[in-house]
């Protein structure tokens, strides 16, 4: 039973408020401030006790009631909680800033004030207007969709929404709108790039020509990204193992997982030379993650006489290294699953985006197919210039030596037999019938009346 009372210090005060003590649906004692009017406070106490009884008996679902309360709450508090969650999950500061910027831009554009205001139609409309105004690429458009879906999924996991209101939001086809098309470098082109860097006396982005050649070589022969190469120290390499490996720590890897990759055998002696004077914890290429590596490649390609941009695409640092690495794997016999694991992609479709197979690669693949027509040969002499199949040749040889032709199952032999059957002698007909007897079909016995 609910009861009302005044605090001890307020008992003699006429306008002091009354308080209500009652037990909620979980049996927990609660105290709530009432009114200065005793009758109104008693009415409120009765309502509170009745609601607690309805919750205990299942007439009111506490979970649904909590969801309704959350939907009426302001959205800003939830955005701050989600941002704190991204930070606690050890996401990079750049990722957190970029994700929250996209979400807040959608929220402001839609005018969402409460959690219950979120709707897929409003989000799609605002993103469409934003795409038209700023000419967003399809990939950037999908990044906005992904960020907002991630926020709504988190709301559902935290029991702040019953369901994701933007599930199934339309995403655009990135292949129909490629804003930065990249191309892979062939082995000859990459050799010219290395030569141009090694012979250069110019320092670009604080790196000498020799250092740039080392960076390019690591990228081309390992497929590591710029930030991953920047994180390498002497401890990252195990050059005495079988095979020799390089380890990328989870905090430095794009997919936040520990990666151990095999090294090319010809890269190992070069690494020994590079690391012999390097301290164990010193970075091999300090501050590389903040440098404009595309500018390094562009200048060295120009020095080598190779265009930086062609109709096939741009050859920036990511393309000259990682794209060329993955394409080279497939060109030299690696299977697609092997290339996917070495590229550390979660989906083989992503690996295919890094694969640049041209018409010359396709022609080489076709030329490597086994020849299924090896039984077709050309005979010089009387048959010079004619291509004869082995069954036809065998029959002509038999006719010359006087040997009867054997039955042939090929359609060509059957056609020749039909043409020769009209002029056969009786002996030939008898011999053909003997070699190809007809099956004996038993005749049915007549039924007795």
- Give the pLDDT confidence score for residue 234 in this predicted structure: 92
CA dihedral sign of residues 341, 347, 350, 356:
positive
User: Tokens 């018409």, residue?
Assistant: 359
- Give the pLDDT confidence score for residue 388 in this predicted structure: 45
Contact 33, 19 (CB under 8 A): yes
User: Which residues, listed in sequence order, are joined to residue 310 by a DSSP beta bridge?
Assistant: 313
Rg of the chain taking only CA atoms, in angstroms = 40
Nearest-5° angle of CA 419, CA 425, CA 427?
Answer: 125
Could you count the other beta carbons within 10 Å of the beta carbon of residue 29?
Answer: 8
Rounded distance between C-alpha atoms, residue 300 and residue 213, angstroms: 10
- The pTM assigned to this predicted structure is 0.62
HSE-up of residue 183 (Cα within 13 Å, Cβ side):
15
- Give the pLDDT confidence score for residue 413 in this predicted structure: 44
Largest CA distance in the chain: 141
Contact 240, 325 (CB under 8 A): no
- What residues have CB less than 8 Å from 197, skipping those under 6 apart? 209, 210, 212, 213, 216, 300, 303
Region class of 256: left (phi > 0), else alpha (psi between -120 and 50), else beta? left
Contact 212, 195 (CB under 8 A): no
- Give the pLDDT confidence score for residue 449 in this predicted structure: 47
**DSSP conformation class of 244:** -
- What percent of the chain is modeled with pLDDT above 90? 45
Contact 197, 213 (CB under 8 A): yes
Give the end-to-end CA distance of the chain in Å, rounded to a whole number: 103
Closest to 289 measured CA to CA, from 234, 233, 236, 231: 231
- Give the pLDDT confidence score for residue 402 in this predicted structure: 52
Contacts from 201-209 at CB under 8 Å and sequence distance 24+? 202/299, 204/295, 204/296, 204/299, 204/300, 205/291, 205/292, 205/293, 205/295, 205/296, 206/287, 206/291, 207/285, 207/291, 207/296
Q: Which residues in 208-229 are b (16+ Cβ under 10 Å) and which e?
A: ebebbbbbbbbbbbbbbbbebb
Residue numbers of the chain with a pLDDT score lower than 50 = 383-384, 387-393, 397, 401, 403, 405-422, 449
């Amino acid at each position: 039973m609910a009861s009302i009372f005044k605090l001890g210090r307020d008992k003699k005060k006429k306008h002091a408020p009354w308080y209500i003590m009652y037990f909620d649906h979980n049996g927990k004692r609660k105290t709530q401030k009432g009114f200065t009017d005793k009758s109104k406070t008693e009415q409120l106490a009765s309502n509170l006790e009745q609601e607690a009884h309805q919750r205990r008996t299942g007439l009111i679902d506490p979970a649904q009631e909590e969801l309704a309360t959350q939907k009426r709450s302001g959205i800003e508090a939830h955005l701050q909680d989600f941002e704190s969650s991204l930070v606690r999950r050890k996401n990079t500061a750049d990722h957190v800033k970029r994700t929250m910027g996209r979400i807040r831009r959608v929220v402001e554009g839609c005018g969402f004030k409460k959690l219950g205001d979120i709707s897929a139609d409003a989000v799609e409309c605002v993103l469409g207007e934003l795409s038209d105004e700023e000419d967003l690429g399809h990939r950037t458009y999908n990044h906005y969709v992904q960020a907002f879906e991630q926020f709504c999924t988190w709301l559902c996991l935290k029991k702040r929404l019953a369901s994701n209101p933007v599930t199934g939001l339309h995403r655009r086809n990135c292949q129909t709108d490629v804003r930065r098309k990249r191309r892979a470098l062939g082995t000859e082109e990459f050799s010219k790039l290395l030569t141009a860097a090694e012979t250069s006396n110019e320092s670009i982005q604080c790196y000498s020509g020799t250092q740039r050649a080392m960076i390019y070589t690591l990228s081309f022969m390992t497929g590591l990204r710029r930030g991953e190469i920047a994180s390498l120290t002497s401890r990252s390499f195990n050059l005495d193992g079988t095979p020799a490996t390089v380890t990328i720590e989870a905090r430095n890897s794009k997919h936040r997982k520990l990666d151990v990759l095999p090294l090319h055998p010809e890269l190992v002696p070069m690494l020994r030379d590079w690391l012999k004077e390097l301290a164990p914890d010193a970075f091999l290429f300090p501050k590389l993650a903040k440098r404009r590596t595309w500018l390094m490649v562009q200048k060295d390609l120009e020095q080598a006489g190779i265009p930086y941009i062609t109709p096939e695409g741009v050859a920036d640092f990511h393309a000259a290294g990682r794209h060329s690495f993955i394409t080279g794997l497939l060109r030299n016999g690696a299977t697609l699953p092997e290339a996917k694991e070495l590229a550390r992609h979660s989906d083989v479709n992503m690996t295919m985006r890094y694969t640049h197979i041209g018409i010359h690669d396709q022609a080489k693949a076709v030329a490597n197919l086994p020849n299924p027509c090896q039984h077709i040969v050309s005979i010089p002499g009387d048959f010079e210039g004619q291509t004869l199949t082995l069954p036809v040749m065998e029959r002509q040889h038999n006719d010359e030596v006087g040997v009867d032709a054997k039955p042939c199952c090929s359609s060509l032999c059957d056609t020749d037999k039909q043409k020769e059957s009209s002029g056969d002698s009786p002996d030939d007909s008898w011999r053909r019938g003997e070699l190809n007897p007809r099956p004996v079909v038993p005749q049915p016995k007549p039924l007795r009346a």
